[in-house]
Structure 1
Amino acid sequence: MMSVVPSSSDQKMTNERPSPTIEDYLGVIYTLDRNGDRVISARLAQSLDVSAPTVAATLKRMQRDGWVILDDHKEIQLTPSGRSAAMNVIRRHMLTEWMLSRMLKLPLSEIHREAHQIEHTLSPEVAERLQAELEDPRFCPHGNPLPGFEDEAENWVPLSSLDPGETAVVRRIQESLEEDYDVLTFLESKGVVPGAQFEVMELLPFNETVMVSIEGNDVILGLRLASEIYVNKLE
């Protein structure tokens, strides 16, 4: 992850909870950063589906309030208070996903969108009780690690990197896919979900697909999609 560069704007750090809009920005910045992506204004505009002027105006307020800084290369970095707030909102989001999945039995394709509507309203006390009720999960239902547990996923590899004949267990459907209802519905219908064991049957670079077998059923995935599904190889 990117290191935090000290700045005079850090002197304005606040202990107040940011607004839902600012929490959305903080969560996206944190997620892009931990996935190794460059955090620039254009990526925020794309991820949040807002205009470039809107991002610029919001970042200006975030700098003023001590949530972020921009380095000499115009990359966005979280201040200590910004990182703490980002980790809190992502944690609340993932706990809410578990509540919707485990308690209300909503499908994997719906919980991200629904959790986004609820996460901003959870108090710290409710979040703590929810975490205890869920027995302290380390990953969300999609397999993405809760903040602080990233090291537990460091040995997982993209499905697209496997060779024919190798077997593995699906561990993580990366955050970039969580917004895509159609893709998640497809994956869930084919059994490509965290915990599923599979074998790579065929890799076809010429048409950029990979065929895997899950519970006796062949599933064809595009390599781009397969690169965003992380797995744990079996020996």
Structure 2
Amino acid sequence: MQLDQSNNRSAEPSEVVSRYLEAIYYMWSEKEPLRSARLADWLGVSRPTVAVGLRRMTRDGLVRMNGRKEIELTPKGMQSAESIVRRHRIMERWLTDGLGLDWVTADAEAARLEHAVSDVVEQRLYEVLGQPATCPHGNPIPGYSQAAAREVRLSSLRTGDMAGVTRVSEVAEREAPLLLSYLHQRDLTPGRQVQVLEADDVGKTLRVKVADREVTLSHETASKVWAVPTSASSAVRQGKVKA
């Protein structure tokens, strides 16, 4: 599969704007509240800095504010964001699959390299890698795949439920190294089957069995892992299924 990228680089955003677009896209895909204060937290910058950045992006037709004062990507902004995220995730696959780097290092290096990758190199890497559908931690590569229709957050499962891990959420830059390393070391990776041994709503923890080991997760950490239910009890709770 080859995408038409003829217009993607005609007005390449700056590296700073690219970071904003990427963060907004991740927040949108994870259904996070798209407010400027949260974006500032996500990027690790001050709120006044974000306000200035958003004004410029609004002027350039990349974002707009809706009636609830939430940030929205315009069609132009979405196209730019998808292009940036696509390059990042393809680079991550090359760095992990081709060079053998761990998730954390690959994520950081991809952020540095993605701005220097041409459309030609991006497409060739995608083909050489066997046309991957996702990044190493399971998030879909825009234009080539999309999230599984029946995904739920691991934190929504109950005692006795079973599910197959599909992906690990993209999270704020300062949180990513800790979370990715923590989950990778505990085998909570795409393709793994998970059984919930205990869902403790009072203690806000989830004890699971994965790859013949027991792991206890906080609800906050478990909410960053997406999975498709494989047991009847969890599959019937349609109210918690992501459309």
Q: Distance in 2 between matches of 1:70 and 1:203?
A: 39
Q: Distance in 2 between matches of 1:105 and 1:26?
A: 28
Question: Is 1:69 aligned with 2:56?
Answer: no
Match for residue 207 of structure 2 among 191, 211, 234: 211
Secondary structure in 1 aligned to 2:171? Answer: helix
Deviation at 1:224, TM superposition (A): 1.5
Q: Contact (CA 8 Å) 1:67, 1:82: kept in 2 or not?
A: yes
Matched residue, 2:164 = 169
Deviations 1:121-159 (A, max 9, x none): 111111111111122222111111122466442211111
The one-letter code matched in structure 2 to 1:198 is V
Normalised by the length of structure 2, the TM-score is: 0.84
Question: Is 1:60 aligned with 2:79?
Answer: no
Matches within 5 A, 1:121-136: 121-136=116-131
Q: Contact (CA 8 Å) 1:15, 1:81: kept in 2 or not?
A: no
Question: Is 1:225 aligned with 2:229?
Answer: no
Secondary structure in 1 aligned to 2:131? Answer: coil
Question: Is 1:109 aligned with 2:122?
Answer: no
Once the two structures are aligned, what percentage of the paired residues are identical?
38
Matched residue, 1:3 = none
Deviation at 1:215, TM superposition (A): 2.4
Match for residue 189 of structure 1 among 161, 179, 185: 185
Question: Is 1:21 aligned with 2:20?
Answer: no
Matched residue, 2:83 = 88
Deviation at 1:15, TM superposition (A): 3.8
Normalised by the length of structure 1, the TM-score is: 0.87
The one-letter code matched in structure 2 to 1:182 is L
Deviation at 1:27, TM superposition (A): 1.2
Secondary structure in 2 aligned to 1:203? Answer: strand
Deviation at 1:33, TM superposition (A): 1.8
Equivalent residue pairs, number: 222
* Unmatched tracts of structure 2, length 5 or more: 1-8, 232-243
Q: Distance in 2 between matches of 1:188 and 1:32?
A: 22
Q: Distance in 2 between matches of 1:58 and 1:152?
A: 29
* Unmatched tracts of structure 1, length 5 or more: 1-13
Deviation at 1:177, TM superposition (A): 6.6
Matched residue, 1:154 = 149
